[in-house]
A = this chain, B = another copy of it.
Amino acid sequence: MALKKALAIDVGGTKIYNTIVNEKGEIISEVEKHHTPDTFNEIKAVFKKIISKYENQVDVIAFATCGAVNNSNDGILGSTGNIAKEYPSMDFKSLSKKPVFVENDANAAAWAEHIIGSSKGMPYSIMLTLGTGVGGGIILDNKLYKGKNGAAGEMHFKLRNDKHRKCTCGSYDCFEAYASGTGLKKTAEEISGDTDITTYDVVGSKDRPLMKKILEQWQNDILEGVIGLANIFDPDVIVLSGSMAEFVDIEYLEKQANKEIVTTPFKVVKASAGNYSGMIGAALLALGVK
């Protein structure tokens, strides 16, 4: 019997990707890339074009999108940051004759890790995507955890209580404001006193004492968050993904966190499902692969 297939579409603030993924989580066509247009109508036109080209080849359409997605997996809750402000009103179901399934990109990526990646076989996992911001995906008892309306898994818990650093969410001192790439730059500015310092300056000269100190502070902030999540969830594993994850000393993090938690031993691992894990995870969810 032929494997079922999904047309997977990843929607970010700057890029839209699409490809076809089968129920084994394999990417079976070229990955296409588009710039995310500025307006709602232009974004919708990109979706329409992708879908009309591929919908006859697949069983379902699977979106991995920025923004929190509702529990019926057909729409977005509230605002989503750096994309057209009307985007959350998108009527995804109307875009195709085939079934359309929508999930948050970080949640989808966590599901890809759970099914084919580094948290495979582990019922309780939390994924932290360390990029420009921080994304989160929570899997409990082999199910994606979404909360009462679908917005759960936002890594906006506080690492300080003195309103020190503004977060993109409008509040202060969230984990995201420290553990992200943007957070690393801010930490570098604070420690070096140089407001022109870049993330690249830090990771490109890791052996210089100043840069080492900056990276250690940033990594310690990630450690603090990992400890808190392990104490709240008693998970099997915390998975680190995203472009910034490669600068984290995973072995140190796992060892130190396990020394400090009051719950039971857990693993810290790097994601292994690849750069397109959002599309893969959305496809697997849309195809009902558990």
Residue A262 lies at the interface, judged by CB distance under 8 Å to chain B:
yes
B228 near A156: Cβ-Cβ < 8 Å = yes
Q: Which of B161, B171, B173, B264 sits near A149, CB closer than 8 Å?
A: B264
A124 near B151: Cβ-Cβ < 8 Å = no
**Taking each of A153, A229, A264, which has the highest tally of chain B beta carbons within 10 Å of its own beta carbon?**
A264
A147-B234, A151-B234 known; A224+B161 contact, CB < 8 A:
yes
Q: Digitize A161-182: 1 where CB-to-B-CB distance is under 8 Å, 0 elsewhere.
A: 1000000011101100010000
Q: Which of A133-155 contact B (CB under 8 A)?
A: 136, 138, 140, 145-155
B160 near A157: Cβ-Cβ < 8 Å = no
Nearest B residue to A221, CB-CB: B161
A156-B227, A160-B161 known; A150+B234 contact, CB < 8 A:
yes
Shortest Cβ gap from A267 to chain B (Å): 11
Residue A56 lies at the interface, judged by CB distance under 8 Å to chain B:
no
Q: Which of B145, B148, B152 sits near A123, CB closer than 8 Å?
A: B148
A220-B161, A263-B68 known; A148+B234 contact, CB < 8 A:
yes
A124-B147, A159-B160 known; A171+B232 contact, CB < 8 A:
no
Shortest Cβ gap from A9 to chain B (Å): 24
Question: How many residues on the A side are at the interface (Cβ–Cβ under 8 A)?
Answer: 50
**Taking each of A150, A171, A229, which has the highest tally of chain B beta carbons within 10 Å of its own beta carbon?**
A171
B232 near A153: Cβ-Cβ < 8 Å = yes
Q: Which of A197-254 contact B (CB under 8 A)?
A: 220-221, 224-225, 227-229, 231-236
Can you pick out 29 interface pairs between chain A and chain B where the beta carbons lie within 8 Å of each other?
A68-B263, A78-B264, A136-B232, A146-B234, A147-B234, A148-B236, A148-B264, A148-B266, A149-B234, A149-B264, A151-B234, A151-B262, A153-B234, A154-B234, A155-B231, A156-B231, A157-B157, A158-B224, A158-B228, A159-B159, A159-B160, A160-B160, A161-B178, A161-B221, A169-B260, A169-B262, A171-B227, A171-B260, A174-B231
20 further contact pairs, Cβ within 8 A, besides A136-B232, A154-B232, A155-B232: A68-B263, A77-B264, A78-B264, A123-B148, A146-B234, A147-B233, A147-B264, A148-B236, A149-B264, A152-B233, A154-B262, A155-B231, A156-B228, A156-B262, A157-B231, A158-B224, A159-B160, A169-B260, A173-B224, A232-B232
Query: Which A residues lie at the B interface, using CB under 8 A?
Result: 68, 77-78, 123-124, 136, 138, 140, 145-161, 169-171, 173-174, 178, 220-221, 224-225, 227-229, 231-236, 260-264, 266
